[in-house]
Amino acid sequence: MTKSAHVARPEKADDTIVSVERAFEIIEMLADSVDGLPLSEISRALDLNKAIVSKLLHTLEGLQLVWRDERAQRYYLTYSISNIGLRHLQTSRLLDQCSAALRQLAEETGELVRLAIVEPGGKRLVWVQSFAGSKRSLRIDPNYTLRIGLHTHATGKAWISTLPFSEALALLLHDGLEPLTIHSKTSINDIRAELDAVRESGFSVSYEENELGVGAVAAPIMASTLGGVTECVGVVSLAAPSNRMSRADLEACSPIVMATTRRLGETWPLDARARSGAFPRIVT
């Protein structure tokens, strides 16, 4: 079972529709699956009998959200889900309002700049946009990984540094603290000390902790929601090959990265603030 399908959820209200929730759990599972999933595996992951899961999948097929490989008997998402997400990003104008600042940062540094946003509910961070600077011949593939490691990516550290440690720890333990390189931090005490330092400085650094040969610096985007709470709504990161930028070089880029996030926080779209404000977080 994929981890994303079991992110901690709020308590169910009396008027929720269980079948809708299960359908979206299937969508999340398929989104994280490279080779699709058979009916039996989906059924086992949801702890449901195959007849119920088959009906859910048949419904999703009818909506053209899922398709089945008849030969392999495996289910996959269609691109309809991606298109829905892209349509939403376009109508929200989130990317339009962020593009200029992110592109400027990429061009000034010549490196890879990425934007990640916090999903409503504050339980997940996802990449949504990237710009590769044109000044350098050696670049990092902006899609080299889709998963944001909370303890290994500078982006993940920047986000969870804004949370109460108890909340950050729950997210860390859910995702797991497996080392990805010899430089990955796995000690809770070490991670807590680093998050305290990130909170104090306003930026985080990951140097070959997520992938050998790659370093990054990141800062959180803090915006005031319509609910009156200032919280992290996203993160901007700047990544570069370690043979071109040392850890000190990345840290030297932190002022321009933080200037970018301050600019974005001041202009964060109102509709995005409204969605974030629907989930007020009490900081302790």
Q: What is the pLDDT of residue 105?
A: 95
**Beta-carbon count within 10 A of 40 CB:** 11
Q: What is the pLDDT of residue 146?
A: 65
Q: Which of 229, 235, 206 is nearest to 275 (CA)?
A: 229
60 and 111 inside one domain? no
153 and 224 inside one domain? yes
Q: Last residue of some domain: 51, 79, 107?
A: 79
135 and 226 inside one domain? yes
121 within some domain: yes
Average the pLDDT over 80-88 and give the result. Answer: 77
Distances in Å between the Cα of 129 and the Cα atoms of 95, 162, 195, 237, 283 are: 7, 21, 25, 11, 28
Domain that holds residue 8: 3-79
Q: What is the pLDDT of residue 144?
A: 47
Please determine, for residue 284, whether its predicted confidence score (pLDDT) is greater than 70. no
247 within some domain: yes
Beta bridge partners of 115: 129, 236
Question: How many domains does the chain divide into?
Answer: 2
Q: What is the pLDDT of residue 282?
A: 34
Q: Last residue of some domain: 43, 58, 79?
A: 79
Q: What is the pLDDT of residue 238?
A: 96
Average the pLDDT over 79-102 and give the result. Answer: 77
d(CA 184, CA 206) in angstroms, rounded, equals 9
Letter for the amino acid at 138? L
Please determine, for residue 187, whether its predicted confidence score (pLDDT) is greater than 70. yes
Instruction: Give the confidence band of 267 by pLDDT, cuts at 50, 70, 90.
Output: confident
55 and 40 inside one domain? yes
123 within some domain: yes
Average the pLDDT over 89-102 and give the result. Answer: 77
282 within some domain: no
Residue pointed to by tokens 């949504």: 128
244 and 111 inside one domain? yes
d(CA 153, CA 112) in angstroms, rounded, equals 14
**Tokens in use for 54?**
């088959």
- List the CATH number of the domain containing 92: 3.30.450.40
137 and 166 inside one domain? yes
72 and 138 inside one domain? no
Q: What is the pLDDT of residue 59?
A: 94
Q: What is the pLDDT of residue 273?
A: 53
Average the pLDDT over 89-115 and give the result. Answer: 85
179 and 234 inside one domain? yes
123 and 251 inside one domain? yes
Q: Which of 96, 38, 94 is nearest to 66 (CA)?
A: 38
Q: What is the pLDDT of residue 10?
A: 46
Please determine, for residue 13, whether its predicted confidence score (pLDDT) is greater than 80. no
Please determine, for residue 283, whether its predicted confidence score (pLDDT) is greater than 80. no
Question: How does pLDDT run across 117-158, given as a tens digit for each residue?
Answer: 998 777 888 888 889 887 554 455 544 456 799 999 999 999
Average the pLDDT over 98-127 and give the result. Answer: 89
Please determine, for residue 258, whether its predicted confidence score (pLDDT) is greater than 70. yes
Write down the mean pLDDT value for the chain. 84
- List the CATH number of the domain containing 56: 1.10.10.10
Q: Which of 282, 266, 168 is nearest to 222 (CA)?
A: 266
Instruction: Give the confidence band of 9 by pLDDT, cuts at 50, 70, 90.
Output: very low
Q: Which of 156, 118, 147 is nearest to 264 (CA)?
A: 118
SS (H, E, C) 41-92: HHHHHHCCCHHHHHHHHHHHHHCCCEEEECCCCEEEECCHHHHHHHHHHHHH
